[in-house]
Amino acid sequence: MAGPSPSPHKPRRKAKRAVNAASNLANITALSDVNPVETLVRAPSFPLSALLWPARGFVTEWEVLPLILMGVGLFRWAAGLWGYSGFQKPPMFGDYEAQRHWMEITTQLPISQWYFHDLQWWGLDYPPLTAYHSWLCGKIGSLINPSWFALFSSRGLHDANLKVFMRATVLVSEYLIYIPAVVVFTRRFSRLNGVSTWSSAVALVAILMQPATILIDHVHFQYNTVMLGLVVASMSSLLAGRNLWACVFFVAALGFKQMALYYSFSIFSYLLAICVFPRINISRFVAIAATTAISFALLILPIVVGTLHDVKRGIDARPDLDGPRPPLPLFPQLANYLDTEAFYYPVVEQLVQIVHRIFPFARGLFEDKVANFWCALNVIVKVKKYPAPLLQRASLLATLASILPPNLVLFLRPRKHLLPLAFAATAWGFFLFSYQVHEKSVLLPLMPMTLMLAGNHGLSKQIRAWVGFANILGCWTMFPLLKRVDLAMPYTVLTLLWAYLLGLPPTSISVYAPEETKALSQWVTIFLHAPFYLAMALWHVLELNVVPPADKPDLWTVANVGIGAVGFGLCYIWCLGKLVVDSEIIPKSWFSKKTKLKSQ
């Protein structure tokens, strides 16, 4: 007799779903700041968790993710409806025109002329991967409307359809690189730290809604998230133990924007440490070195092959020159040792020119007012009057002094959960003390610091307070830049929206509500942050209503620089201090002994 027909139901899958739901409910403590039992009956503690609260136990990770991606995508596209850098502002028209012009020259000129063409009009000054990306975007755009990238005649073009295309290139690039990298990193980092799936989802929304990134890339107009996404992919690979892929992704990040050097010491320290501890691993070291070298070679290969091909066709990299070629920039003495008629000389000239363009030492310590140490110091002591070589050495020494401590900790304690803290502390050091810093470079330390939201206690009040403080302050220091290009409104909307979602000032002070278990540390945080929030609010009131004296036209910008530099210094100290504590490089017993001695 045949047995009963199998049931159409799948109880195992249902049970697994129930277990996942129970796990999410039990581990959502960070979202409500109460114990797991109270979590079931208490309301969430900040608006972002409240917004996503109703679905916390009834959907899987893969059902939540599409909703998140659609939501953050709509915000990005809506932000792009505002203006952009340089809109109807001759003669140079801003960063939007720079990016459009690079699409123009990479599609209309031979590859050997890319880094030499008309350097006075937004000459290409980013590494080769940016050029290849511009070439791809320009080729696609030319299929739609060739006049968008017609050489010379398209300069300063503000066609509405071109704006839609340019905005779309930012969004597509971000959804191909940055957002997948952040999603994967958040999942891996949360699992590493034992964070629940639902808490990880809330952290993911907070990270992807980071206002500074949206303001600069989708409003002001740039492609920073491509570089940042490649760095996040490198960090994610380190979490997964895929060290060679980490090298490939990081070389690609350097190949897209040279500012990725902000993270280079941390990548180097971690990779070197895993080759040394717990025992020396020569084969791993050789594999990492070889992968890095091959990645760099593949990165510049199109430039090298293209230059040799242009030489063979009789195309000169510098057709504007009729007489003898000038000495190589940066290394003029090389002309004494190289044969300028040799087949390899155009390649050498090309590579030296690329280095010269992407490392603008000739521009001085800083061009504009930025909230870092040097600009703040220049208010008191006019440092720009000193010789450039002296300032370069001072900047180098100060930068090394600031980045060595976090990287020494990471080398001695190569723990995966320390990566965001080490990356953040190192990037803050670079931002505060390095040479030729731009105000938009604050995105680099903000990125790893914001990723901490996905870690252990990442949504707790203490970490939310510091991550939120850094992001709000970072947006505020970029306000003079955004206001110059008529983007004060999106700055206000996006910054206040993110502050509201995370329960941060000026929309809420709930993140600073003292708890019995951490009352002292929270009071210290309040004492440190409150003056800055008050100063930012007062600054906006004064900047809006009070005209600065005629002899001090940059008064409000200078005040912004000074306040921002001190605040970013606090962020660096906090990241470094937390890195030291979390690494346990100083034994906990040392602290307990000191406590006992004080009590006696």
**Predicted local distance difference test score (pLDDT) of residue 58:** 59
Residue 359: count other Cβ atoms within 10 Å of its Cβ.
Answer: 15
pLDDT of the chain along its 600 residues, tens only? 444 444 444 444 444 444 344 444 444 444 544 333 333 335 678 999 988 887 677 556 677 889 899 999 999 999 999 999 988 888 889 999 999 999 999 999 999 999 999 888 899 999 999 999 999 999 999 999 999 999 988 899 999 999 999 999 999 999 999 999 999 999 999 999 999 888 999 999 999 999 999 999 999 999 999 999 999 999 999 999 999 999 999 999 999 999 999 999 999 999 999 999 999 999 999 999 999 999 999 999 999 999 999 999 988 888 777 666 677 776 777 767 777 778 888 899 899 999 989 987 767 787 778 999 999 998 888 888 888 889 889 999 999 999 999 999 999 999 999 999 999 999 999 999 998 888 899 999 999 999 999 999 999 999 999 999 999 999 999 999 999 989 999 999 999 999 999 999 999 998 998 765 567 788 899 999 999 999 999 999 999 999 999 888 899 999 999 999 999 999 999 999 999 999 998 876 664 554 444 444
Domain boundaries, the chain: 197-222+366-594
Residue from 15, 223, 13, 17 nearest 130 by CA: 223
What is the C-alpha separation between 342 and 109, in angstroms, rounded? 24
User: How distant, in Å, are the alpha carbons of 106, 117, 358, 439 from that of 120?
Assistant: 16, 9, 15, 22
Residue from 98, 151, 153, 137 nearest 120 by CA: 98
Q: Which two tokens stand for residue 60?
A: 């899987």
DSSP string, 542-553: HHHH-PPPTT-T
The identity of residue 430, as a single letter, is F
Residue from 299, 192, 300, 191 nearest 247 by CA: 299
User: How distant, in Å, are the alpha carbons of 87, 103, 136, 156 from that of 96?
Assistant: 8, 11, 17, 9
User: CB within 8 A of 375, min separation 6: which ones?
Assistant: 366, 369, 561, 565
What is the C-alpha separation between 557 and 559, in angstroms, rounded? 5
What is the C-alpha separation between 230 and 256, in angstroms, rounded? 9
- Asked if 134 and 166 count as a contact pair (C-beta separation under 8 A), the reply is no
Token pair 């790893």 is found at 448
DSSP string, 249-308: HHHHHHHH-GGGGGGHHHHHHHHHHHHHSSS--HHHHHHHHHHHHHHHHHHHHHHHHHHH
In Å, how far from its chain's centre is CA 91? Answer: 29
User: How distant, in Å, are the alpha carbons of 132, 151, 219, 320, 359 from that of 154?
Assistant: 20, 6, 22, 21, 28
The sign one gets for the Cα dihedral 453, 442, 482, 129 is negative
The identity of residue 244, as a single letter, is L
Q: Which two tokens stand for residue 30?
A: 């960070």
Residue from 563, 328, 574 nearest 449 by CA: 574
The sign one gets for the Cα dihedral 509, 540, 79, 469 is negative
**Predicted local distance difference test score (pLDDT) of residue 383:** 85
Rounded (5°) CA angle 130-427-48: 90
Exposed (0-12), middle (13-18) or buried (19+): which is 267, by Cβ within 10 Å?
buried
Residue from 138, 134, 110 nearest 124 by CA: 134
Q: Which two tokens stand for residue 57?
A: 């136990």
**Predicted local distance difference test score (pLDDT) of residue 25:** 43
pTM: 0.90
Q: Which two tokens stand for residue 230?
A: 């490649």
- Asked if 227 and 257 count as a contact pair (C-beta separation under 8 A), the reply is yes
Q: Which two tokens stand for residue 233?
A: 């992919």
Q: How many helices (H) and strands (E) does the chain have?
A: 26, 0
User: How distant, in Å, are the alpha carbons of 88, 159, 484 from that of 94?
Assistant: 9, 15, 11
Q: Which two tokens stand for residue 586?
A: 């100083």
Exposed (0-12), middle (13-18) or buried (19+): which is 219, by Cβ within 10 Å?
buried
Exposed (0-12), middle (13-18) or buried (19+): which is 151, by Cβ within 10 Å?
middle
